[in-house]
Amino acid sequence: MKRFWNEARVAEGEDGFAILLDGRPMRLPGGGPIRVASRPLAEALAEEWQRAGGAKDGEMRPDDVPLTRIVGTAMERIALAREGTVDAIARYGETELLCYRAEHGRLAELQAAGWDPWLAWAARDLDAALRVTAGIMPITQPPQALSALRRAVAAKGLIELSALGVAVPALGSLVLGLAMAAGLVTPAEAHRLSTLEECFQEGRWGQDAEAAARRESAAADVALAARLLALA
């Protein structure tokens, strides 16, 4: 779309911070204005819109405003279907990546060293003791552990849920997503751990360009989600 504004700036009100485009509130596709509780987040959103399209009448793309897209999802979708969103994110615990290991060898050692501390954290801090298996056959996780993971997800605010909705599918791991949301693991390290097996196999058999591109895209999503969590 064409950029129709010259200036994007933050305005503080009783109900939070708004983004003004040439003095008018920026509105979401559904018609409602964006309001956020955090000034740093509002300033980051305004910065996106100030850069988008380069200048007035320039061509703006959705990729120019990635933080705005996630915040918009929180306000227009998750706010109307919070429980469904919590369920969808929490469901990743049923097939938690960190619970599926190689049967033996160096990869199994790397997985144990990299993944065991985060499963121990989930058991200790979230009361979610998950089972681990070797191979690819599905394992049924304890109902109490899955309930504990759902409670951890349900405790998040709308913007945090929206960020987790990006990070958890990109990582394939609910535990790593929650640890990142808690500020305990960096997005780069979370992504490294989530791609441990893929990178190990690549080291043995050579790089696959398509797989490398998927990893790069996932890393960007995780970094974006982490930035939103930090700003919010």
Read off the pLDDT of residues 32-72 as tens digits, 9 standing for 90 and up: 889 999 999 999 999 999 999 888 889 999 899 999 999 99
CA 117 to chain centre: 21
Burial pattern 62-98, b for ≥16 Cβ within 10 A else e, equals eebbbbbebbbbbbebbeeeeeebbebbbebbbebbb
With contact defined as beta carbons under 8 Å apart, do 141 and 96 qualify?
yes
- How confident is the model at residue 139, as a pLDDT? 94
- How confident is the model at residue 137, as a pLDDT? 84
Residue 205 lies in a domain: yes
- How confident is the model at residue 78, as a pLDDT? 96
Say yes or no: 48 and 95 in one domain: no
Residue 182 lies in a domain: yes
- How confident is the model at residue 1, as a pLDDT? 83
- How confident is the model at residue 28, as a pLDDT? 86
Domain that holds residue 194: 80-231
124: CATH = 1.10.3580.10
Residue where one domain finishes, among candidates 57, 76, 95: 76
- How confident is the model at residue 23, as a pLDDT? 94
Model confidence, pTM = 0.93
Q: Which of the residues in the chain have pLDDT under 50?
A: none
